[in-house]
Amino acid sequence: MTISLKEEKKVFGGRQIRYEHTSSVLNCTMQFSVFLPPQVEQGKVPAVYWLSGLTCTDENFSSKAGAQRVAAELGLALIIPDTSPRGDDVPDDADGAYDFGKGAGFYVNATEQPWQQHYRMYDYIVDELPALVEANLPVSDARAISGHSMGGHGALVIGLRNSSRYASISAFSPIVHPTAVPWGKKAFSGYLGDNESAWQDYDATVLLRASKGKNVPPILLDQGEADNFLEEQLRTEFFVEANEAVGAGARIRMQPGYDHSYYFIATFIEDHLRFHASNLR
């Protein structure tokens, strides 16, 4: 349960830091990024866990979203893991595809070979990483979770399956119904096999319907209407329908003119952090 400091920068009175550690869950060396606000000088602070999308590492959000200013004001730590296991011993897609293998862990626990030994990102995010962070850093066990695209899928699934662990959930451009779209079908068949009943545990729309609206944390979802992945891969309408059917109370905002990029995230990240801060209090 030890971490090694790799890099540190001062920003908005806080610290943007990159750490490395040996993961017993993923069986490899992992890196993750953290923003610690200036309030850590007075004691532990709550955390927002950010899950990034396809092809990303732990550095995309910290360098592109512009989240540190508001996090510093609100006294929120930002915990930013990588999107998959890494290293020479970790298997990757044979054709180098961007949507499977390294950079595309999909926040599931793989059950198929050769992925099973390393691709257990669900357990890593839910159990190992928070335990590591809370044991080594001035961060409390008050948590919220957020993410983008594949990471939005991960945030919704993890938050819905672990509602007692997360005060709130938010997502940008999430893959809300992966069992019904090409990205999800490819990833789930590879990591989880052909038994599609096993896929249901990692589908936010299925999980929301199954909840019947009970024990659902507050949810904020932003989706750009000009997102080129919306119609084929993201399919926000499925989550909207499930939310209305069970009365879960999720706030789902369709944003005219915005696409899938970090410009979209940077525009609305302040809303999301203030949403989480209000629930973490």
**What is the per-residue pLDDT across 108-122, written as a single tens digit (0 to 9) for each?**
999 999 999 999 999
Q: What percent of the chain has pLDDT over 70?
A: 100
- 172 falls in which pLDDT band (50, 70, 90)? very high
DSSP state of 218: P
Per-residue pLDDT reduced to its tens digit, 199-247? 999 999 999 999 999 999 999 999 999 999 999 999 999 999 999 999 9
What is the three-class DSSP state of 102? coil
End-to-end CA distance of the chain: 28
- E-strand spans in the chain? 4-11, 14-23, 28-36, 45-51, 77-81, 139-148, 166-172, 219-224, 251-255
Taking residues 52-78, report their average pLDDT: 98
Residue 1 has pLDDT above 80, yes or no: no
Active-site residue list: 149, 227, 260
- pLDDT at 60 (0 to 100): 98
- 27 falls in which pLDDT band (50, 70, 90)? very high
What is the three-class DSSP state of 104? strand
pTM, two decimals, is 0.98
Token pair recorded at residue 228? 């080129």
Mean pLDDT score of the chain, rounded to an integer?
98
Show Cβ contacts of residue 76 under 8 Å, excluding neighbours closer than 6 positions. Answer: 37, 45, 46, 47, 48, 273, 276, 277, 280
Token pair recorded at residue 28? 């490899």
Report the topology of domain 4-280. Answer: Rossmann fold (3.40.50)
Residue 227: C-alpha distances to residues 45, 164, 210, 232, 261 (Å)? 34, 32, 28, 10, 8
Are 256 and 207 in contact by the 8 Å Cβ rule? The answer is: no
Cα–Cα distance, 2 to 19 (Å, whole number) = 10
Residue 94 has pLDDT above 80, yes or no: yes
Kind of pairing between the strands at 14-23 and 28-36:
antiparallel
The residues spanned by each domain of the chain are 4-280
Q: What are phi and psi of 26, to 5 degrees?
A: -95, -10
Cα–Cα distance, 151 to 162 (Å, whole number) = 16
